[in-house]
Structure 1
Amino acid sequence: MGDGMTREDDRELLKAAYEAWESEKWPLAGELLERLARRHPDHPKSGVWWYDAALAYKFLRNWAKAYELGREAAARAEPNAQDPAFWNLGIAATIMEDWETARAAWRGFGLTVPDGDGEIVADFGATPIRLDPAGTGEVVWAQRLCPARARVLNVPTPESGRRFGEVVVHDGAPNGEREVNGQAYSVFDELLLFRASALPTMTVEVTAATPEDVRALAELFDEHGYAAEPASGVRIICSCCSEGSVRQDRDHQVGGGQQVNVAAPVDEVPRLLDGWCAAAPTVRSWAFPATT
């Protein structure tokens, strides 16, 4: 046969693999595609089979297998042509903390990453990340450290289970966008928590005369490496709208009585808030929310 597949059972294997794929039976699809690729490593379509097998294991969040099979797919991909085989390998290698392979994958895709032997840490700009896509789906802003990891810059709501300063691995496929000052930013879905933050999230009640007073509070926490954000900046929208285009204001401080989410060591919060109040005691006050 001209296509290199001479056995009837190979054709049946190919058919069964993609029937499982279409039915989103990822464990079976991954297993069958890997079996087919190993039988015919030199087949013209083997790169596609390796890629789809690795992708099936990515969907399963089986990163060891996605990494193993992704290496095979990338070995058969064309460098510097933005082939997704390199991107998915970059994600899997990042999660496995094989930084040498991750660097090679990003460069194979056509990206520039810094030299080195260890963890990739650079400035790839800010981007919105959807935390816990299957759960709360909260979208926060984060600083990209590499093509697949970002550090959370906002104070996520306590319900999200995430914290300010945490590093998450995110997908490479955009799932919505946020527009700020006329510029559109792609939203990427979180894949997993890469590095946790030790800073707890608390909510406090503050009274401030003006938005500038609230901005001063945020700046005070920022100066100490912490964060404080008005809860009024959180917008509740449906998942369909969240995955579309949403316009955002960069500055959402308001005056008056309100709740503020803060990320800082527990014993530091009262000290910082007292200092903020002392700078303008007639117009600023704070308290922990009353418990029932």
Structure 2
Amino acid sequence: MTRADDRELFKTAYEAWEAKNWVVAGESLERLVQRRPDHRRAGVWWYDAALAYKFLRNWVKAYELGREAAARAKRGKQDPAFWNLGIAATIMEDWATARDAWRGYGLTVPDGDGEIMADFGVTPIRLNPDGGGEVVWARRLCPARAQVLNVPTPESGRRFGEIVVHDGAPNGERTVDGRTYSVFDELLLFRASGLPTTTVEVTAATPEDVRALAALFDEHGYAAEPSSGVRMICACCSESSVAQDSHHAVAGGQRVNLAAPVDEIPALMERWQSAARERRSWTAAAEG
């Protein structure tokens, strides 16, 4: 191939990029950088090729090309090549490469050889962004994974306690008690939860009764999510800034999603009801 061929390949790659034709963009950029590995923009081409495969959710290629991009990036300067490699390496469960990528980006992660299991604080995660796009709270275990703390609605296809890999680019905000948190989109389910979601109908006379139900399940390592805590908003609003009340609870009749072994739910619900039988009642609904 001639330099004219290289220019044509470059044009094809970035025209495909503008059209979001990630297959053509990724393949063309990979061919181009393999032909011109010493070009001054080779690092950019490696990065863009890896990013195209990330958009395609081809994690093997994103990992392979991401290693090349990161090898040409400056460490400790928050270069996104390291972040994208960190995501791909996490999905591939190459923990040594993931640790090195996060450190190359400029983050501090725990030492070790296996899976990164730390506490990077809580953050909102948009589950299944191409579907319902439900936003839940999750605890970050590493820069790219978080464990779901809410009980997602059955329609979301996700469960309490599941670990998801999320993107590093914020897509919206949630403000709670004056503090703003970035919302990150789920990329994939990393580890499923064994706790099914069961929906029950509950009548509670006061908000404190609702909070008592949530506290009871929390004591056992499970979770209860009243429907009064779920807000339905459009995708445009969800991807902007939204204020939330951390103490929100509503009395009355409502559905509650429970994350617990099905055979333990009746006893827990009876315990909750018996503590204030004149104010509390429940009926079984469905398992999800």
User: Which category describes the TM-score, using the shorter chain as reference length?
Assistant: over 0.9
Tell me which of 78, 99, 102 is aligned to 1:103.
99
TM-score, structure 1 length as denominator? 0.96
**Identical amino acids, percent of aligned pairs:** 78
RMSD: 1.2
Q: How does 1:190-269 map to 2 (within 5 A)?
A: 190-269=186-265
SS at match of 1:133: coil
Instruction: Give the letter for the 2:170 counterpart.
Output: P
SS at match of 2:262: coil
For 1:178 and 1:129, locate their aligned partners in 2 and report how far apart those are by CA, in whole Å: 10
Match of 1:12 in 2: 8
Q: How does 1:58-207 map to 2 (within 5 A)?
A: 58-207=54-203
Number of matched residues? 286
* Stretches of structure 2 lacking an aligned partner (at least 5 in a row): none
TM-superposed CA distance for 1:208, in Å, is: 1.6
Q: Deviations over 1:13-47 (max 9, x none)?
A: 11111111111111111011011111111111000
SS at match of 1:175: strand
Instruction: Give the letter for the 1:113 counterpart.
Output: V
Instruction: Give the letter for the 2:92 counterpart.
Output: M
TM-superposed CA distance for 1:206, in Å, is: 1.3
Please say if residues 75 and 104 of structure 2, whose CA atoms lie closer than 8 Å, have aligned partners that are also in contact.
yes
TM-superposed CA distance for 1:6, in Å, is: 6.5
Please say if residues 198 and 285 of structure 2, whose CA atoms lie closer than 8 Å, have aligned partners that are also in contact.
no
Q: Structure 1 residue runs of 4+, over 6 Å off?
A: none
For 1:57 and 1:212, locate their aligned partners in 2 and report how far apart those are by CA, in whole Å: 49
For 2:72 and 2:107, locate their aligned partners in 1 and report how far apart those are by CA, in whole Å: 18
SS at match of 1:34: helix
TM-score, structure 2 length as denominator? 0.97
Q: How does 1:262-281 map to 2 (within 5 A)?
A: 262-281=258-277
TM-superposed CA distance for 1:275, in Å, is: 0.9
Instruction: Give the letter for the 1:100 counterpart.
Output: A
* Stretches of structure 1 lacking an aligned partner (at least 5 in a row): none
